[in-house]
Chains A and B, each alone.
Chain A
Amino acid sequence: MERKIRVLIAKPGLNGHDRGAKVVARALRDAGMEVIYLGMRLTPDQIVNAAIQEDVDVIGLSVLSGAHDTLVPEVMRILKEKGAEDIKVIVGGIIPDDDVKKLKEIGVVEVFGPGTLTPQIVKFIKEIVAKG
């Protein structure tokens, strides 16, 4: 039985800078993963609904707007409400150090900032999925 890693890549909120999300999506694809690319200007509800229906292992949220401290907690809250808190959430974008701590406190497994190399993200996702 071959188990494919499935990842949802999405940009919550009003933020049009999707190059980073696309680069990460391509890197994960090239690492053999199935990447559901959901695009931008999404509500936390849309993201969680897609993550559940697509049965992904990981949600990757890209935020560069500064609204991470409202949007990411909302995603985490809805995941919990739907009984899907086992889906791992990682965040990428421009996140101040203080906020990284806060995001990790509410259950975000990792935050990848500027300068991250895509192989680091690939390796990280493979590890957390293997751990279950």
Chain B
Amino acid sequence: MNGIEIVNKVLSGDNRAIAKLISNIENQAPNIDEVLMKLYPHTGNAYVIGVTGATGVGKSTLINGLINHYKSQGLRLGVICIDPSSPITGGAILGDRLRLVNSIDERVFIRSMTTRGYKGGITKSLRDVIRVLDASGKELIIIETIGVSQVDVEIANYVDTLLLVVMPYMGDEIQLMKAGLLEVADIVVINKADLTNSEDMVLAIKENLNSNNGWEVPVIKTVAINGFGIPELINKINEHKNYLLTTNGIEKKRKDRIKEEILEEIFNIVKQNIVGDEKFDEIVKKVFEKEITPHFAAQLLIKKHKFLIFNNCVDV
């Protein structure tokens, strides 16, 4: 499929074309920038929900509950499930889809992605893959991160509503006082709430929550495996969405996101043009022998390659 053909098919919601385009993004196919440029005006309509939390707390099973609900409302859904790739071989087992398989059909587009070495519980191509699903007409997109640690907060920059999933027995109050994920969550879900000390967990979390830009972060108990608490969770997601829409918070979030992405792109473009420098090893040697600092070396390289960087940028 050529660029225009694939864009038209994606816009018409063709599953095969969506899947192929996502692969092209992941593999950085040669014409991908042009294709994404054509797709871009058709994005911005989908609402994006992130689901994050440690390994084994029940993220996939919870998403299964969300899919069933939104599907019954007739919403067009896209789901991206991220799993870790091996730091040794680059290989991966993608095992999230397995928990969703009975609630999905052709109308729900699910894609499993690996981190491909990217940090923060997400994957490098995530923004563009969200755009593909968005442009293809999905009204709601759910993203599942890998099982994350306390500081993997990057997902907050990709989504409109972020659910943090925890479970009882994950540690005492002091653990919850530590900085990180709890500060960026819009809704906290205590899954597996049928375990004995879930009420203690609710209290401990409530004590340690800050209001998130004026939004009072709710704490919801669920048992995802049997659907307990899912309706309440759905209500809170709707409330948060309405809150963002009525306070113009969504525009701020999305503009912040664009700013973040542009800065990342600048870094990538500069890096790409410098990484192949034939004198790189010599400069490394100078730094190694304490002649110059890494900071100075970076400036030296940017100055040296300023024309290369400039010339490799397309005219917009």
Contact = CB atoms under 8 A, between A and B. Distances in A.
A94 to B, nearest CB: 23
A69 interface: no
A50 B92 CA distance: 17
Interface residues of A, number: 31
A53 B109 contact: yes
Interface string B13-34: 0011011101100111110000
A44 to B, nearest CB: 13
Contacts of A83: 16
A34 B89 CA distance: 10
A24 to B, nearest CB: 11
A45 B28 CA distance: 30
Contact of B19 (A28, A33, A45, A52): A52
A40 B89 CA distance: 26
Contacts of B294: none
B114 interface: yes
B101 A50 contact: yes
A28 B92 CA distance: 8
Interface in A67-83: 82-83
Say whether chain B's binding surface is mostly helix, strand, loop, or mixed: mixed
B111 A54 contact: yes
Contacts of A46: 101, 104
A85 to B, nearest CB: 12
Contacts of B315: none
- Which of A4, A34, A46, A83 has the most chain B CB atoms closer than 10 A to its own CB? A34
B146 to A, nearest CB: 14
A84 interface: yes
Interface residues of B, number: 33
A38 interface: yes
A53 B110 contact: yes
A36 B112 contact: yes
Q: Which of B23, B92, B104 has the most CB of A within 10 A?
A: B92
Interface string A20-52: 000001101111111111110010011001101
B15 to A, nearest CB: 6
Nearest to A83: B16
A2 interface: yes
B111 A53 contact: yes
A28 B91 CA distance: 8
Contacts of A33: 91
Contact of A84 (B16, B27, B86, B91): B16
Interface in B236-295: none
Contacts of B95: 37
Given A4-B27, A53-B111, A37 B93 contact: yes
A35 B22 contact: no
A12 B72 CA distance: 26
13 contacts: A1-B28, A4-B27, A30-B86, A35-B91, A36-B97, A36-B112, A38-B101, A49-B106, A50-B97, A52-B15, A53-B19, A54-B94, A82-B16
Closest 8 CB pairs of A and B: A55-B19, A29-B91, A39-B98, A32-B89, A32-B91, A55-B23, A36-B94, A32-B90
